[in-house]
Amino acid sequence: MKKKVVIITIYDPNPNMGNRLQNYAVQKIFENLNYDVVTISFKEKIKMNNIWKLKLLINKLTNYRFAKHRVYWRKIQKRYDELDKFNERYIKTFNVNNLSDIPDADFYVLGSDQLWNPKWWDEANPKMEQSIYLASFAPKDKVLCVSPSFGCDDIPESWKPWFKKYLNRIPEICVREEAGRKIIKVLTGKDSIVTIDPTLMLSAKDWNEIIEQPEGIGKNEKYILAYFLGGTSEQAERDLNAYSKEFNIKVYRIFDERCETLYSINPSNFVYLIKNASLIMTDSFHACVFSFIYDRPFLLYDRVGTPGMMSRMDTLFDKFDLKRKYVNSGLTNEVLEHDYSNGYCNLKEEKNILRNFIIRQTKNIDDI
């Protein structure tokens, strides 16, 4: 009988692309090690109520757009539906309402993504998330990390006693960023190791198994892909316009009302778009990761309105010789250059570090 792994990660009703893709990657890592894997979900899905459904039906029949909430019922809900379809197809999920519903398992895996960033924890039910995201309910010898992240340089003082108590229970800790390693050292005195985001454990060939061409995008079409979670800054907008003219190619924008075609895509579409882009311009960590995986040129911009988000970028860029791809680095960079040969050499070593960490913690010595 296969041993069982329960993945504990951020599982929102409206997760973003990177969140779903890292969840899939962790699942694949353990499936490849011959585990039975499930991810727990403990938040209700956002459903379209009957009023929204009626408005959407009227729009489909008459093309009439209601002014109030039209972005939500026409675009955002469709995005939720697309993400639900991805989850149902690729993520094995077990829904829980309270801690007692969490199934028994041989290991409870914490990660990845910003699991330990209290900013994302539900203020309405913080104790539930405290207990789940630090696995306080589980025997300590069954708790395993796979590159969880704090997503910040420090955590609020009010959270430090809780983190200190339950991080000390975890036998060995790995984190996704150098900033996280420092937080753990200060809180607990324990050393931890910095490991790669799990999406990097899968090859381009592995990711090709789930890619899906979005509607409205030509198979051999050339385009610049813009993906800005914090909105497009003035600097990025100027550069988008300049490069579009210079290279004589169009711009496609993900989750931007100016590009309705890509407003409601799913993670499989997202990976396809990066794989086939001539250039990716972004403020997203996972857009940078997949640009690197697929050997595509990319440019990283500061995220608008969200300071303190660069720690994960710093670690990623340091590990894989990508600093020049940050537009404000001050380093020389050709826009369409994508010689990542140094980074790929480092990636082999980093994959082994995380894989051996997992095997050592699960005591699957035969798999090393």
Residue 299 β-bridge partners: 281
Kindly write down the DSSP assignment for every residue of 154-189, as one continuous string.
---GGGHHHHHHHHTTSSS-EESSHHHHHHHHHHH-
Residue range 171-189: mean pLDDT, rounded: 95
Instruction: Check whether 367 has a pLDDT greater than 60.
Output: no
Structure confidence by residue, pLDDT tens digits, 35-56? 999 999 876 554 555 665 676 6
Mean pLDDT, residues 336-364 taken together? 95
pLDDT band at 125 (very low <50, low <70, confident <90, very high): low
pLDDT tens digit sequence for 256-288 = 877 778 888 999 999 999 999 999 999 999 999
Which of 290, 192, 267 is closest to 15 using CA atoms? Answer: 267
4-45+90-201+349-367 and 213-337 agree in CATH topology:
yes
Q: Is the CATH number of domain 213-337 1.10.3210?
A: no
Mean pLDDT value of segment 227-232 = 93
Band (364; pLDDT cuts 50, 70, 90): low
Q: How far apart are CA 288 and CA 82, in angstroms?
A: 22
Q: Which region among 19-28, 77-86, 314-323 has the lowest average model confidence (pLDDT)?
A: 77-86
Average pLDDT for residues 121-142, to the nearest whole number? 81
Domain ranges of the chain: 4-45+90-201+349-367, 213-337
Percent of all residues in the chain with a pLDDT value above 70, rounded to a whole number: 86
What are the backbone dihedrals phi and psi of residue 122, each rounded to the nearest 5 degrees, phi first? -70, 115
CATH architecture of the region 4-45+90-201+349-367: 3-Layer(aba) Sandwich (3.40)
Enter the DSSP assignment of 46.
P
> Which whole number is the average pLDDT over 131-145?
93
The pLDDT confidence band at residue 366, using thresholds 50, 70 and 90, is very low
Q: Which pair of tokens denotes residue 217?
A: 């995008």
Upper half-sphere CA count for residue 13 (Cβ side, 13 Å) = 10
Q: Residue 49 has what pLDDT? A: 56
What's the Cα-to-Cα distance from 78 to each of 83, 163, 214, rounded to whole Å? 9, 37, 14
Q: What is the pLDDT of residue 325?
A: 98
Dihedral class, residue 25 (left if φ above 0, else alpha if ψ from -120 to 50, else beta): alpha
Q: For position 122, what pLDDT does the model report?
A: 62
The pLDDT, as a whole number, for residue 216 is: 87
Looking at residues 230-246, what average pLDDT do you find? 96
**pLDDT digits over 68-120, tens only?**
555 555 666 777 788 889 999 999 999 998 888 999 999 999 988 899 988 87
DSSP state of 265: -
Give residue 182's pLDDT.
96
Residue 252 has pLDDT above 90, yes or no: yes
The DSSP secondary structure of 85-126, one letter per residue, reads HHHHHH--EEE-SSGGGSPP-SEEEE-SBSTT-GGGS-TTSH
Instruction: State the virtual CA torsion across 253, 257, 261, 267 in degrees, nearest 10.
Output: 60
Strand (E) or helix (H) holding 6: strand 4-8
| DSSP states along 242-256 | HHHHHHT-EEEETT-
* Antiparallel, parallel or unpaired: β 193-194 and 279-282: unpaired
Per-residue confidence (pLDDT) for residue 253, from 0 to 100: 95
Q: What is the pLDDT of residue 128?
A: 76
Whether the pLDDT of residue 365 is over 50: the answer is no
d(CA 214, CA 276) in angstroms, rounded, equals 12
Return the percentage of the chain with pLDDT > 90, whole number: 68
Mean pLDDT of the chain: 88
Q: What is the pTM of this model?
A: 0.90
Contact 82, 268 (CB under 8 A): no
Please tell me the predicted confidence (pLDDT) of residue 43. 65
Nearest to 120 by CA among 15, 44, 7, 194: 15
d(CA 23, CA 52): 30
- Tell me the two tokens of residue 209: 């198994």
Strands 193-194 and 223-227, bridge-based pairing = unpaired
What pLDDT was estimated at residue 84? Answer: 86
Tell me what the mean pLDDT of segment 150-170 comes to: 92
pLDDT higher than threshold 60 for residue 333: yes
Q: Where does residue 16 fall: left (phi above 0), alpha (psi -120 to 50 degrees), or beta otherwise?
A: beta
